[in-house]
Chains A and B, each alone.
Chain A
Amino acid sequence: DGGITQSPKYLFRKEGQNVTLSCEQNLNHDAMYWYRQDPGQGLRLIYYSQIVNDFQKGDIAEGYSVSREKKESFPLTVTSAQKNPTAFYLCASSTLAFRGAGELFFGEGSRLTVL
């Protein structure tokens, strides 16, 4: 079945460590996105990519980094510079990069807890 796979689903890390969240899609979508979800705040955009080897910052990019070396993959690294990394992270993809009616398809999410 086509879809988006995020791993790991749960992740615990010590403060000061970098962590990388995986996102893979087999929908042949050009655009991919990372959102952060905190209770009562909705979803906030971290980074997005419209094409391989290119990506743009979203609203809360500080302390995060991404790469887009393959169309299918868009990993997110949460660096030690991110002041409050504990959150639920959602990866999404679409055929149209924010072109109005383009629907987002979401993965199941990764919950990161920093101890």
Chain B
Amino acid sequence: AQSVTQLGSHVSVSEGALVLLRCNYSSSVPPYLFWYVQYPNQGLQLLLKYTSAATLVKGINGFEAEFKKSETSFHLTKPSAHMSDAAEYFCAVSDQYGNKLVFGAGTILRVKS
């Protein structure tokens, strides 16, 4: 069974600082991994996805994530935080057989001015 663990339900950074949101997954087969962002009272928007083509994945709004099989991790980073990055971020995993997409509990990012 697949599962996703997001370390830290809340992360606070200063504007201009590095953003690091952690995601670890459990999957018995090679996974597909996703990061979504959600602004208050809205739906989710895809930031990026890993589908085994390249271990470093670049997404929208300057975000990127690196797939590390040995660590079963898919952490999301952004070199310099902007106030508009304040939102909730979800990591999700599915497998190559088309089983359901499993979401982590989410991490709320706060950006301080």
**B44 — which chain A residues lie within 8 A by C-beta?**
43, 90, 92, 104, 106
Chain A neighbourhood of B41, CB < 8 A? 9, 88, 108-109, 111
A58 to B99 Cα, complex, angstroms: 11
With an 8 Å Cβ cutoff, the count of chain A residues facing the other chain is 30
Is A42 an interface residue, CB under 8 A from the partner?
A: yes
Contact bitstring B38-55, A, C-beta under 8 A = 1, else 0: 000111111001010000
Q: Mark A30-63, 1 if CB is under 8 A from B, else 0.
A: 0000010000111111001000000000110000
Which of B12-20, B68-76, B78-86, B100-108 binds A? B100-108
Q: In the complex, which of the residues A97, A101, A108 contacts B49, with contact meaning CB atoms closer than 8 Å?
A: A101
CB distance from B96 to the nearest CB of A (A): 5
Q: B32, B43, B106: which contacts A108 (Cβ < 8 A)? A: B43
Inside 8 A of A45's CB, which chain B residues have their CB? 100-101
Contact A100 B97 (CB under 8 A): yes
Report the minimum CB–CB distance from B69 to chain A (whole Å).
Answer: 16
Tell me the minimal C-beta distance from B18 to chain A in angstroms.
Answer: 24
Within 8 Å of chain A (Cβ to Cβ): is B95?
yes
Pick the contact of B45 from A58, A96, A106 — CB < 8 Å?
Answer: A106
Q: List 10 A-B contacts (CB under 8 A).
A: A42-B104, A90-B43, A92-B44, A100-B94, A100-B96, A100-B98, A106-B43, A106-B44, A106-B45, A109-B43
